[in-house]
Chains A and B, each alone.
Chain A
Amino acid sequence: MTDQTATGRQLPDRLDNPVKSAVLSWESLLILVALAIFIANSFASPYFLNEWSLSDMTFNFTEKALIALAMALVIITGEIDLSVASIIALASTLMGLALQAGADTPVLVGVGIGVGILCGAFNGFLVTGLKLPSIVVTIGTMSLFRGVAYIVLGDQSFKGYPASFSWFGQGYVFWVISFELVLFLVCAVIFYVLLHHTNFGRRVFAIGNNATAARFSGVRVDRIKFVLFCLTGLMSGMAAVLLTARLGSTRPSIAQGFELEAVTMVVLGGVSILGGSGTIVGVVLAALIMGLVTFGLGLLNVPGIVMSIFIGALLIVVIALPILFRMWRQRKA
């Protein structure tokens, strides 16, 4: 080790053992947690260990987790998008309007996804074009998008979606494997490759670690951030299609609180809330854990309000943990 620091010649690629660092990673811990909750659930309720129960369980997280995939990239760049649930409400409302105008399934899906992308582009423009802080912009658009849905719908709802449309939220591709789960897994692979194996992903991390230095290194910071907001909009639009199809109706209160759960999945998955680090594998595992926990609590007849208390507490704990850990290590040093 002595002359490794003394000479600049023949620098090795890396010194740490990749296998060892994988074993000691946050993701391994998440796998253990997921297993523990899985086992606890199977003891807690006799109905849990059943393929249809487990299949139902996946519906608890797929829509939110789709958003969390894109949200992870946004948070890694140091921004945030809190308007995702309201994008779902607006996209679902406009799908309902399209339905009343006589649109068929392909048009409905196009409207849902298109509205999502437009909403995301609007957020992206406000953040990168006008240089407004994303937390303020998306709190604003959170009220704005859902407000439009309330104006259109009032206390009414849209119903009567065609069966071919409902398949997106209720259909099964194979045995107990739902279309939603398949779509989520495909998107997870795409986002994994995008974040960890492309130039784009590398630049996303660079921006999150130091946006100024990234700009000085020739990274088009604003363009990448704009694309990420559009991508989050796109995923929210997709979630709107799935959720509307699953519920079979649109109410203005649809998807209330989704942004909280999506952010919790991202942070629980090990993405730093300050930006600069995180993995898609972690986010997928966190989504699974959230699904297992909420489904388990549901089997035990725990009321919804308790679950939202639980999710709020979980969010605070996972944000606080790394900070407490760092303070503890500094005191030790």
Chain B
Amino acid sequence: MTDPILTLTGISKSFPGVRALHNVSLELFPGQVTALIGENGAGKSTLVKTMTGIYQADEGEIRVGGKVVSLPTAISATAAGITAIHQETVLFDELSVAENIYLGHAPRNRFGLIDWKTMKSEAQKTLDSMAAGIDAGIPLKELGIAKKHLVAVARALSVDAQVVIMDEPTAALSQKEIEELYVLVELLKKDGKAILFISHKFDEIYRICDRFTVFRDGEMVGKGFIKDTPENEIVKLMVGRSVDHIFPPRSATIGETVLEVKGLSHPTEFEDISFAVKKGEILGFYGLVGAGRSEVMQAVFGMTQIASGTMVLDGKAIAPKSPADAVEAGIVYVPEERGKQGVITGEPIFKNVSLPSLDKTSSRGFIRMAEEYKLARTYTERLDLRASSLSQNVSTLSGGNQQKVVIAKWLATLPKVIILDEPTKGIDIGSKAAVHEFMGELVSQGLSVIMVSSELPEILGMSDRVVVMREGLIIETLENKNLQPETLVRLAAGIAEGKAA
């Protein structure tokens, strides 16, 4: 057996309030493709960033060809022979294909200036060896996403990388383009490169990978050879986590339908979305990243405009044109990107909480601070917010406490339907439990909750019913009774029942 080119041992990485990687190891072998498998948030992208010099690990060592290396910058990772091809390629649209391939290591002439002629001919040679059919002289922006991937591969070949990381390279490709990419992967394998292939799609993993490594909650939970391991075993490794906290019992009585959505369609993101949520119900939305769940929710919230479809809230037709309309109607949305869309960083807690309720706390449009403090105190204390005062800047709070501020802000508007998008992503266990407990409280008070989540325990622990989405479509709506995690993963990833069982 050959020695691995790249070895990671004992890698740990933490962010404020989040443990992203814990004592992780990984080996990549020359001429072999290793699949990195795990749910969203399992730590895959953090690992990629650690390997490419964007993040520095808190602990652990990285060996390339047996020698310990340190990767303080992206350039040092390239020098060590590690290169990555990302889901959305990080290339430069305005530069030519040849410039993109040779950026940072362009051939020089005797005056120390870039040797354009050699650069272009070398780039063309590399592209031709891949049978890419791309002219090295044209600007990159004239190429489609698949061809851009080819350019990224050519770049990997030109820097003489030993390790090529492919982070969901097929996510934006058509079936034919994917086939072309497979050919390239074979080419890289023959060239003796070690490839790390990150994907959610089991058919590709079984088609081109030799080995696999499974991550869960920032830890390495299993590895092996693809050909010796059936799909369902890998699925079990992915989801079979220890239940580290108990979800509150569902005690709410479920009433009549509050919000009914019919035939919602968007030109590119989703099609024919129909669902209904009842009073006192938690409706879970499960799917892979990019399945269109957030896009649907943002359309319901009036953030994006729909091409067709209807919404009925409490028997009245609504068509929110902006979030302000949705909030007025009684639909609120806790976004996934907390820092960018949820809290207004730079402003204190109480101003964040009162912002959508200003019409209630003010008198004829004039601010009444005492009322604002009162409102903010009432709702943040219900959520057990940890802060030193209500005037503390939200940017100084931890992720979990910021999330509590966002939820408090919406509860103060007395909504009918609250949409939570990945409500516990990246927050600590304690705040997670508080958010879950609070969701239970909300529905018992007669609210309707829609919860978008990629975390299976959360979906299974909290939802009354589960909607599974894949590629912009609703695949199934299931009652959460004796629901198996494997069933949801299969539906979300599009694995046929018979094949996996």
Are A11 and B389 also in contact (CB < 8 A) when A203-B355, A213-B343, A215-B303 are?
yes
Output the residue of B356, B367, B413 with the most chain A CB within 10 A.
B367
Q: Does A15 contact B (CB under 8 A)?
A: yes
Mask: chain A, 4-15; 1 = CB below 8 Å from B; 0 = not: 111111111111
With A209-B344, A213-B341 known as contacts, the answer to whether A219 contacts B355 (CB < 8 A) is yes
CB distance from B126 to the nearest CB of A (A): 39
Docked Cα-Cα span, A217 to B359, in Å, equals: 13
Q: A206, B347: Cβ atoms under 8 Å?
A: yes
CB of A218 within 8 A of chain B?
Answer: yes
**Pair A4/B388 contact, Cβ less than 8 Å:** yes
Nearest B residue to A9 by beta-carbon distance? Answer: B381
In Å, the complex CA distance between A12 and B343 comes to: 20
* Residue numbers in B under 8 Å from A210 (CB-CB): 340, 343-346
Determine how close the nearest CB of chain B comes to the CB of A38; give it in whole angstroms: 34
A209 to chain B, nearest CB (A): 4
Count contacts on A: residues with CB < 8 A to the other chain.
38
Q: Is the CB of A216 within 8 A of B347?
A: no
CB of A131 closer than 8 Å to a CB of B: no
Q: Do A11 and B385 touch across chains, with their CB atoms under 8 A apart?
A: yes
Q: Cβ of B15 < 8 Å from any Cβ of A? A: no
Residues in B whose Cβ lies below 8 Å from that of A217: 323, 344, 355-356, 409
A197 contacts partner chain B, Cβ-Cβ < 8 Å: yes
Chain B residues near A11 (CB, 8 Å)?
Answer: 377, 380-381, 385, 387-390
- Note all chain A residues with C-beta closer than 8 A to B303: 215-216
A43 at the interface (CB under 8 A from B): no
> With contacts A8-B384, A197-B366 known, is A276 near B346, CB below 8 A?
yes
Contacts of A12 in B (CB 8 A): 388-390
Assembly CA distance A1 to B389 (angstroms): 11
Instruction: For the complex formed, measure the closest distance between the CB of A148 and the CB atoms of chain B, giving whole angstroms.
Output: 35
Complex CA gap A206/B358 in Å reads 12
Q: Is the CB of A209 within 8 A of B390?
A: no
| Residue B335 at the chain A interface, CB threshold 8 Å | yes
Decide: B340 and A212 in contact? CB cutoff 8 A.
yes
Per the 8 Å Cβ criterion, residues 341-393 of B in contact with A are 341-347, 350-351, 354-356, 358-359, 362, 365-367, 373, 377, 380-381, 383-392
Residues from chain B with a CB closer than 8 A to the CB of A218 are 323-324, 326-328, 355-356, 413
Cα A199 to Cα B357 in complex, Å, equals 10
Type the 1/0 row for A204-242, where 1 means its CB is closer than 8 Å to any CB of B.
Answer: 011001101111111110000000000000000000000
User: Which residues from B are CB-within-8-Å of A52?
Assistant: none
The answer to whether A198 and B344 have CB atoms under 8 Å apart is no
Whole-angstrom CA separation of A231 from B261 in the bound complex: 40
Least CB distance, A6 to chain B, in whole angstroms: 8
Q: Is A16 an interface residue (CB 8 A)?
A: yes
In the bound complex, do residue A202 and residue B356 qualify as a contact, i.e. CB atoms below 8 Å apart?
no
**Please, which residue of chain B has its CB at the minimum distance from the CB of A4?**
B388
Which chain B residues border A7 with CB–CB below 8 Å? Answer: 386
**A212 neighbours in B (Cβ, 8 Å):** 340-341
CA distance A275 to B226 in the complex (A): 54
Give the complex CA separation of A210 and B335 in angstroms. 14
**Which of A6, A215, A277 touches B323 (beta carbons < 8 Å)?**
A215
- Of chain B, the residue at the smallest CB distance from A213 is B344
Given A197-B367, A202-B367, A216–B323 Cβ distance below 8 Å?
yes
CA distance A217 to B407 in the complex (A): 11
**A198 x B366 contact (CB < 8 A):** yes
Residue from A10, A198, A202, A276 within 8 A of B355 (CB atoms): A202
Q: Which of B328, B350, B358 contacts A203 (CB 8 A)?
A: B358
A201 to B391, CA, bound (A): 18
Min CB distance, B430 to chain A, in Å? 11
A200 CA / B333 CA spacing, docked (Å): 22
B322 located at the interface, meaning its Cβ lies under 8 Å from any Cβ of chain A in the complex: yes
CA distance A7 to B388 in the complex (A): 8
Other-chain contact of A199, B335, B340, B367, B390 (Cβ < 8 Å):
B367
8 Å CB contact of B365 from A200, A205, A215: A200
In the complex, A220→B358 CA distance in Å? 13
Q: Is the CB of A216 within 8 A of B362?
A: no
User: Considering the chains assembled together, what is the distance between the CA atoms of A199 and B381 in angstroms?
Assistant: 24
Residues of B within 8 A of A16 (CB): 391
Q: How many residues of B contact A (CB 8 A)?
A: 44
Q: How far is the CA of A133 from the CA of B355 in the complex (A)?
A: 26
Q: In the complex where A199-B359, A217-B355 touch, is A8 in contact with B386 (Cβ < 8 A)?
A: yes
Q: How far is the CB of B301 from chain A (nearest CB, A)?
A: 8
In the assembled complex, the CB of B324 is this many whole angstroms from the nearest CB of chain A, namely: 4
> 1/0 per position for A261-285, CB-CB distance to B under 8 A?
0000000000000001100000000
Residues of A within 8 A of B323 (CB): 215-218
CB distance from A278 to the nearest CB of B (A): 12
A306 to chain B, nearest CB (A): 38
A5 interface neighbour in B327, B367, B386, B390, Cβ under 8 Å: B386
Contacts of A10 in B (CB 8 A): 381
Residue-wise interface mask of B (385-406) relative to A, using a CB-CB cutoff of 8 A (1 in contact, 0 not): 1111111100000000000000
In the assembled complex, the CB of B416 is this many whole angstroms from the nearest CB of chain A, namely: 15
B389 in complex: contacting residue of A6, A13, A203, A209, CB < 8 Å: A13
Q: With both chains docked as a complex, state the minimum distance between the C-beta of A15 and any C-beta of chain B, in angstroms.
A: 5
Which residues of B have CB within 8 Å of A202?
A: 351, 354-355, 358, 367
Cross-chain contact A216 with B351 (CB below 8 angstroms)? no
Query: In the complex, which residues of chain A have a beta carbon less than 8 angstroms from the beta carbon of B341?
Result: 212-213, 216
Tell me whether B365 and A198 are in contact (CB under 8 A): yes
Is B345 a contact partner of A209 (Cβ separation < 8 A)?
Answer: yes
Would you give the shortest CB distance from B161 to chain A, in whole angstroms? 35
Q: Which of A4, A7, A206, A217 has the most CB of B within 10 A?
A: A217
Q: Do B346 and A220 touch across chains, with their CB atoms under 8 A apart?
A: no
CB distance from A249 to the nearest CB of B (A): 41
Query: Could you say which residues of chain A place their CB within 8 Å of the CB of B354?
Result: 202
B380 contacts A209, C-beta separation under 8 Å: no
How far apart are the CA atoms of A216 and B298 in the complex, in Å?
A: 9
Q: B386–A213 contact, CB under 8 A? A: no
Does A199 contact B345, Cβ atoms closer than 8 Å? no
Q: CB-CB < 8 A to B391: which residues of A?
A: 13-16
- Residues on the A chain within 8 Å of B387, using CB: 5, 8, 11
User: B351's closest neighbor in chain A, by CB?
Assistant: A202
Task: List, in ascending order, chain A residues with CB within 8 A of B373's CB.
Answer: 13
In the bound assembly, the distance between CA atoms of A279 and B330 in angstroms comes to: 34
Among A10, A12, A15, the most chain B Cβ lie within 10 Å of the Cβ of: A12
How far does the alpha carbon of A15 sit from the alpha carbon of B389 in the complex, in Å? 6
Contact status A8-B380, CB under 8 Å: yes
Does B344 contact A214, Cβ atoms closer than 8 Å?
Answer: yes
Which residues of chain A have C-beta atoms less than 8 A from B409's C-beta? 217
Q: Are A209 and B384 in contact (CB under 8 A)?
A: no
Contact status B333-A216, CB under 8 Å: yes
Q: In the complex, which residues of chain A have a beta carbon less than 8 angstroms from the beta carbon of B390? A: 11-14
Q: How far is the CB of A8 from chain B (nearest CB, A)?
A: 4
What chain B residues lie within 8 Å of A214 (beta carbons)? 344, 355
List 15 interface pairs A-B (beta carbons < 8 Å), by A numbering: A5-B388, A7-B386, A8-B387, A10-B381, A11-B381, A11-B387, A13-B390, A15-B389, A198-B365, A202-B367, A212-B340, A213-B341, A214-B355, A218-B326, A218-B413
> Besides the contacts A13-B373, A213-B344, what 11 more A-B pairs have beta carbons closer than 8 Å?
A8-B385, A11-B390, A13-B390, A15-B388, A15-B392, A199-B365, A199-B366, A199-B367, A205-B351, A213-B343, A219-B356
Taking Cβ atoms with an 8 Å cutoff, the residues of A that contact B are: 1, 4-16, 193, 196-203, 205-206, 209-210, 212-220, 276-277
